[in-house]
Structure 1
């Protein structure tokens, strides 16, 4: 028997040095180092110089601690935006920044002081601030390297820092624009206050958690009632969950349209002889609380006073405070005032008013000549001189301490408020079981209080005086910026902001309503904080008039001083020099409050986008991109700052993403042990896996991550990598001389080019929509389903076995080349490291893949309906073959003889065409509706392994292979 020849050396198998195993954790740092050595970011700027700009302005992360998975998602999304816009040929610079001032950093330094038993107040302010600055600088450097490790491209050597002197000067300059246009006022209003951190908080610095509070019903005796004299001697009843506010009560509020009734208890000795005024709708709820208080059914009987008492009849009614016997403040009359905020949803339909501790309270009392008393100190305790609760008393605990507000018990060990109300006979019910949502500081996690303090505000509803927004005299940080804005601008800040929201594109669209409702209902903007680490409110206030000084020359000196010396320049030693010769420091108070850090970050558009330090940038930005919580944070503070100083929004578009949850949908928490550390993920999988995850999820909603999810992403990555690996091997030695015109190509190649054109359109639209989930999904599906599982699978026979100069093989490789150049560009914004590795493998001497632009795709028409029918039939054939393969009747589809129904075969496809497309031995068109498969009895070609009638014996060659081998033998 003659030994059969081994034809393996005549088959053109793909060859490449590109490894199947990625080893991303080891490779990526080297690629990153090469980009830095090449200064790739600057190369990009040079290559796009003069092109249409696209500016994504970076919302500054806080310089405090390692990055978390939310940071990673945010930066990858920003990077994908910048890279896709760059790929489209635009000049899309990216300047990263950091938020460096504020309480969290100050708190960390104070913690270190406490461990060393140092008193912050005994440390010079400049020394303390320098420690804060050093702390922030260290974390900026740490986070910078972590963001770079994610493959985020940007001007990392020249970021913006809110603590840089020129930035601090820019923030001061923006503040002084508010001052010069009369958009600041100093007032006393209740603000959210953290007794732990001893400072006012912005809404964005507060989170809400469920707590259990003491709820009480308190009786205020009516002493005057001109419209309903029968009420004199009765008691109005108020319900509250903040017992500690009762001592500073100054009035009671009623609803003018509420119907009230008078009731008395008939079977409880402690309540004998007392009549109570309650909203008629809420009597039964009040009754239940009395039942619980007295441990029995309390029978309430209505008292006839000529029918229901209309709320409007309570005008002019006067009550007295339960603690009136203490005299002084407590003996003052407590008027009943109409309040449009009074409802009958809960409580008693009557509300006690403490202007020190509530916004509605403050406004109503102020309108009636009643002002706050400022009796609670910054640590949440009553003032030492407050006659009712001296600090030496056991009652001197914090007003937010549950024990301080605890209801009394038989042992008399309840909280002082409730105990004293009980002793006065005014406490009708008290129970520590009321569960509700309550604001907490998101930093210290401590409960906050509403506390009236003198603060600096920006009014939301005062008309902005006409001005031209000229900032020339306050430039100082890179030159004057002339802004063309209507000089007749007289809208209020709220109106301006709402108009700009209407003009801004929000992605997803629901963001427009979210921020709109917040701006529409927000109170005046509180700018001041009572801390040390931040940008000072650089104002001089006349001691006699209370007016702040507005002088452009003084303001210019202040800005220049801060630019030269940072915030330390605002100090008493420099005060007279800043005022100049025209003013005497003795006549002025130098404000020591600092600015809300949201004003810092809200001003970044001014000192970054408009600065000569970053000439590649421009204002307004094309896009702001942050988490959805920034509708009440950075998006809003930036909007208000820009509208107040420029009459417009600082952005054209706003994109928001949701929050990353654990795999089970729960919020991530270190205590639950369900956090995912992006640094560890990069150590195990590599940055490209994080990027593929971030750009695959629907980031506009809350989304998930976990070990199993990451394994799935890694598997998806492996498939994409192997697709590129196959293409690299299949294109080995390809040159332009081998290319085939589209018109000469087989229909399958033309169809695949048509699919590529469709993909190109989908990806362009996804970029326009910032829909990276759709972008990545379309790319992955095309590479996996249209290429690997279909086109590549069918054409591997042509690639391996056709003659190198065969038209079909050349056409296939021509399309592979077109696909390669398109797909490597499409993938580059997603898999930044892998795309570079793939590109440099094929073109080792070429520039970076990230310098390339969006591919030009040939326009090819194909009858996609016909090809869709072919692919459906192919799936049916594959399904019919699979049982025989599982049973090992056949080992591959090449051994199958297939009969397909005639009605399923599109016109124009021969049996040989179908056999090639289905990768089977033979295909016969028959009658019926089903696909049938039998094992072929033909012999197998020793080179291409196809079973064909023309092969007489296993191992012999078919006609095609005979010709190719003969030519190869002759050539060798």
Structure 2
């Protein structure tokens, strides 16, 4: 027999079956950099509507983790897809450079070298911090670029750039001028280890074991004299600062008499105590005593009581606590836990502080910045609450012992609970009263920007409700409730590396005095101009105060503030020096989108909102999109101690960045995402299947010429069905990308590529592509569809798989100057949609499914080896027969050598499927001989000019 293999039009392509992504991706990165892809897109974007995704700055102090990769890949999906949808999608990456983590690293280095940080010139110290940040920016930049992230990498924004520092200072000075800045003494979250105040966004909660104590406060007046009010607290160290006890006006209280006490207990059997009824039993159980309720104690009675501090009259107390302790009503008091009474230390808790403000309670200053008591505090001077290593000091135990000695300790225990820690040092925090600078978020602002409210809070809430689109919508609720209930913003930090609070205060003036703060636009302008040239370091150079006050004010009349700004104010101000000031910023200084993890509702989304509302009058963004956290395969939080972390570089080294990006695309990023070895294997398998589809297209487009193109109207129905599917998908892809539904986009494209194309269209049309004559309408139409598919499928997928789609594009269109990423997604004609054809196709494909099922049963029974050996009889209903009309065409669809269509009743035993009513298939063998070129079996094989061929193949051979 003649071998006709060389006469077939088999696929030819240099596109490799194996991707080799880890080795090949760096070459594409170098190519994109050489071509200047990002800048060329910007240069050619005239007339396009801008789309600005403003980058939330990562912190410049370590290698990237998988959360960084998730975040940046999602941003890249958006910027690439918006660009290819016809927008001018600008993306300026940025870094957060100031703050405690970097300062802490330099301090660690100093400690290791035996150096004293305080002995080093502050400017030299800041310069070392700057160098540290610079080093990590370079490292992280390359790691981000390796992920295939497109952006203005040669000119990112840095919060430590001189212009950025000048703008941050200028934004702060707007608060000075509009009256929202004030200095107040109030309790703030304080890190004794880092010796600075922390914002809520810098706090994380971990399990912690605390001392719990039940303490008697003796009643000094009224008919209840001789009884004690019992409080409960988990912070014994705050007892020396107690100035009141609060009760809940709506809570039921009782007077109880102790009846039985354990041997050796410092308690009288007839002792009387007042407790909330709901909590009395648990309190007595903790004290290991029994008691009897004597009577109700009303809220009016409680409000009239005066108590003695537990350390009143104690030997060695030097009268420090010889004052009356009032009983005060408090809405924050509950009977969920404790005793129903809340020990109140206004210097060490926000609820306590608010009660203190309302009732004029005095503030205390017993606790120093390192978490120790002031040295001259009687009984406890020098005791430490939290030691420099983050471990508990002796203050709690010292207080508990003194309470026991004074006979005030009713009971004690331990409690494991969630407790605030510094997210940097991981050490426990305390509430501590200090003089800090605040932004008043409820003070009316007279700044001419009151369209959305006249206070920071009002503007923020209005922005959240009316000006911002939230994805998912739950993000709106979360931020709204946070801002609705938050206190004033603590702006000051007692550290060195950051932008200083560029303000001056009048010597001798009180914070409440109208001239306490120097407010002068000329001074502010000088500060900003100096920072533009010299950076914020200039603030710390000897003589700076004299330079900027100069001939405007007497420098000796003012003190210069040396606290630094909360770094969240830095990152919250980025809209001003990126969106507003850069040429590639936003035309109106507002971003289309901020995209970060859900934790940023209390972080960057939050600080950006407050900062912009204070200085711009509204939110700096129109949209906020949030993603979940990354977990291991079992749903556990990743940690180095558990050994379950997945580093981006490890995935890239094994699989390539496109596999990591595909993991992101296949995941529901709105929830927490899992990643691990088995998950990545599954992702790699999906990639392999998709790559095979693309390779088939490339191979069968070899030698394509525009002369082959067939107009849609002249195409067979199968090709027109593929055009319909492309038009459908184009709508799905565009809508999905605009909705940031990358999982939906990829799933639609993957199902199309593997089901509609590889398992259906390609499988059917292989015969025509390989065996039909080059000028046959069917082959030309199929190749036309492949060409149209190529341009769409490759550009649809390019935002998700930029390396692979570049490989596919260049395999077909080799060029030294072109890239798939320089092209938009092509427009798809709406008249390709043919709903009537699609509806008929559902019936055809249903019937085909029954045929392939019948043939598979014969194959399993070893009756046939290949479907071309069959010519089945297909029984249809009259309605189905009106749609499936052409046996030859339907045989091609079923990949059989023939088919007989019948509307007669099917015989018993015919093959059927439950979900294909009316269709039955009876197996029959194809009659004739096998064509040695196409392998179809036909009676006419051997009767043509070319031996052992069918009519079609003989004609194709000429």
Q: What TM-score range do you get, normalising by the shorter chain?
A: over 0.9
- Tell me by how many angstroms 1:613 deviates: 5.1
Instruction: Verify: 1:337 aligned to 2:334, yes or no.
Output: no
> Which of 288, 300, 311 is the matching residue for 2:299?
311
> Which of 864, 879, 882 is the matching residue for 2:853?
879
- Tell me by how many angstroms 1:93 deviates: 1.1
What is residue 921 of structure 2 aligned with on the other side?
931
What is residue 720 of structure 1 aligned with on the other side?
690
What is residue 521 of structure 2 aligned with on the other side?
552
Distance 2:293 2:331 in 1: 26
Instruction: Verify: 1:120 aligned to 2:89, yes or no.
Output: no
Using a 3 Å threshold, how does the CA distance of structure 1 residues 395 and 663 change in structure 2: closer, same or farther? closer
Q: What secondary structure sits across from 1:246 in the alignment? A: helix
What is residue 955 of structure 2 aligned with on the other side?
963
Distance 2:10 2:338 in 1: 82
Using a 3 Å threshold, how does the CA distance of structure 1 residues 369 and 179 change in structure 2: closer, same or farther? same
> Which of 352, 373, 377 is the matching residue for 2:368?
377
> Which of 874, 877, 885 is the matching residue for 1:900?
874
> Which of 139, 143, 148 is the matching residue for 1:142?
139
- Tell me by how many angstroms 1:502 deviates: 0.5
What is residue 153 of structure 2 aligned with on the other side?
156
> Which of 508, 513, 536 is the matching residue for 2:500?
536
Q: Which deviations, in whole Å up to 9, do the C-alpha atoms of 1:610-647 show, x marking residues without a partner?
A: 11454676511100011111011000100111111111
Distance 1:737 1:756 in 2: 22
Q: Is the CA contact (8 Å cut-off) linking 1:76 and 1:152 kept in structure 2?
A: yes
Q: What secondary structure sits across from 1:498 in the alignment? A: helix
Distance 1:416 1:644 in 2: 45
> Which of 891, 916, 921 is the matching residue for 2:897?
921
Distance 1:607 1:312 in 2: 58
What is residue 579 of structure 1 aligned with on the other side?
549
What is residue 256 of structure 1 aligned with on the other side?
249
How is 1:654-673 mapped onto 2 (pairs within 5 angstroms)?
654-673=624-643
Q: Is the CA contact (8 Å cut-off) linking 2:188 and 2:433 kept in structure 1?
A: yes
What is residue 239 of structure 1 aligned with on the other side?
232
The range that moved more, 361-370 or 869-878, is 869-878
What is residue 186 of structure 1 aligned with on the other side?
183
Using a 3 Å threshold, how does the CA distance of structure 1 residues 395 and 625 change in structure 2: closer, same or farther? closer
- Tell me by how many angstroms 1:420 deviates: 0.9
How is 1:456-495 mapped onto 2 (pairs within 5 angstroms)?
456-464=437-445, 466-468=446-448, 485-486=449-450, 491-495=454-458
Q: Is the CA contact (8 Å cut-off) linking 2:373 and 2:384 kept in structure 1?
A: no
Q: Is the CA contact (8 Å cut-off) linking 1:55 and 1:617 kept in structure 2?
A: no
Distance 1:396 1:111 in 2: 19
Using a 3 Å threshold, how does the CA distance of structure 1 residues 891 and 203 change in structure 2: closer, same or farther? same
Using a 3 Å threshold, how does the CA distance of structure 1 residues 952 and 935 change in structure 2: closer, same or farther? same
- Tell me by how many angstroms 1:734 deviates: 1.2
Q: Which deviations, in whole Å up to 9, do the C-alpha atoms of 1:439-461 show, x marking residues without a partner?
A: 11111111111111111111122
Instruction: Verify: 1:71 aligned to 2:68, yes or no.
Output: yes
Q: What secondary structure sits across from 2:846 in the alignment? A: helix
What is residue 275 of structure 2 aligned with on the other side?
278
Q: What secondary structure sits across from 1:780 in the alignment? A: helix
Q: What secondary structure sits across from 1:12 in the alignment? A: coil
- Tell me by how many angstroms 1:399 deviates: 13
What is residue 611 of structure 1 aligned with on the other side?
581
Q: Is the CA contact (8 Å cut-off) linking 1:193 and 1:449 kept in structure 2?
A: yes
Q: Which deviations, in whole Å up to 9, do the C-alpha atoms of 1:552-586 show, x marking residues without a partner?
A: 00010111111111111112421111112232222
Runs of at least 4 residues off by over 6 Å: 393-400
> Which of 841, 855, 860 is the matching residue for 2:826?
855
Q: Is the CA contact (8 Å cut-off) linking 1:390 and 1:396 kept in structure 2?
A: no
Q: What secondary structure sits across from 1:837 in the alignment? A: helix
- Tell me by how many angstroms 1:889 deviates: 3.0
Q: Which deviations, in whole Å up to 9, do the C-alpha atoms of 1:303-359 show, x marking residues without a partner?
A: 24xxx2221332232101111112433111111111111111111111100111111
Distance 1:97 1:197 in 2: 26
What is residue 626 of structure 1 aligned with on the other side?
596
Distance 1:629 1:266 in 2: 52
What is residue 804 of structure 1 aligned with on the other side?
774
Using a 3 Å threshold, how does the CA distance of structure 1 residues 130 and 617 change in structure 2: closer, same or farther? farther
What is residue 700 of structure 1 aligned with on the other side?
670
Distance 2:533 2:424 in 1: 32
Instruction: Verify: 1:940 aligned to 2:930, yes or no.
Output: yes
TM-score, with length taken from structure 1: 0.92
Distance 2:527 2:590 in 1: 26
Instruction: Verify: 1:100 aligned to 2:76, yes or no.
Output: no
Using a 3 Å threshold, how does the CA distance of structure 1 residues 824 and 401 change in structure 2: closer, same or farther? closer
Distance 1:32 1:568 in 2: 37
- Tell me by how many angstroms 1:884 deviates: 3.1
Instruction: Verify: 1:910 aligned to 2:874, yes or no.
Output: no
- Tell me by how many angstroms 1:896 deviates: 2.2
Instruction: Verify: 1:58 aligned to 2:55, yes or no.
Output: yes
The range that moved more, 848-857 or 160-169, is 848-857
Q: What secondary structure sits across from 1:783 in the alignment? A: helix
The range that moved more, 948-957 or 451-460, is 948-957
What is residue 477 of structure 1 aligned with on the other side?
none
Q: Is the CA contact (8 Å cut-off) linking 2:635 and 2:674 kept in structure 1?
A: yes
Q: Which deviations, in whole Å up to 9, do the C-alpha atoms of 1:746-790 show, x marking residues without a partner?
A: 011111100110001111111121111111111111111111111
Instruction: Verify: 1:301 aligned to 2:265, yes or no.
Output: no
Q: Which runs of 5+ in 2 are unaligned?
A: 511-515, 907-918
Q: Which deviations, in whole Å up to 9, do the C-alpha atoms of 1:891-931 show, x marking residues without a partner?
A: 22111232333136562432222211011232223433533
Distance 1:765 1:703 in 2: 23
Q: Is the CA contact (8 Å cut-off) linking 1:455 and 1:526 kept in structure 2?
A: yes
Q: What secondary structure sits across from 1:330 in the alignment? A: coil
How is 1:332-481 mapped onto 2 (pairs within 5 angstroms)?
332-391=323-382, 401-402=391-392, 404=394, 415-432=397-414, 434-464=415-445, 466-468=446-448
What is residue 319 of structure 2 aligned with on the other side?
328
Q: Which runs of 5+ in 1 are unaligned?
A: 292-297, 407-414, 469-484, 968-972
Distance 2:436 2:347 in 1: 13
Q: What secondary structure sits across from 1:695 in the alignment? A: helix
TM-score, with length taken from structure 2: 0.94
What is residue 15 of structure 1 aligned with on the other side?
12
- Tell me by how many angstroms 1:937 deviates: 4.9
Distance 1:59 1:822 in 2: 32
Root mean square deviation of aligned Cα: 1.9
- Tell me by how many angstroms 1:436 deviates: 1.4
The number of equivalent residue pairs is 922
Q: Is the CA contact (8 Å cut-off) linking 1:742 and 1:750 kept in structure 2?
A: yes
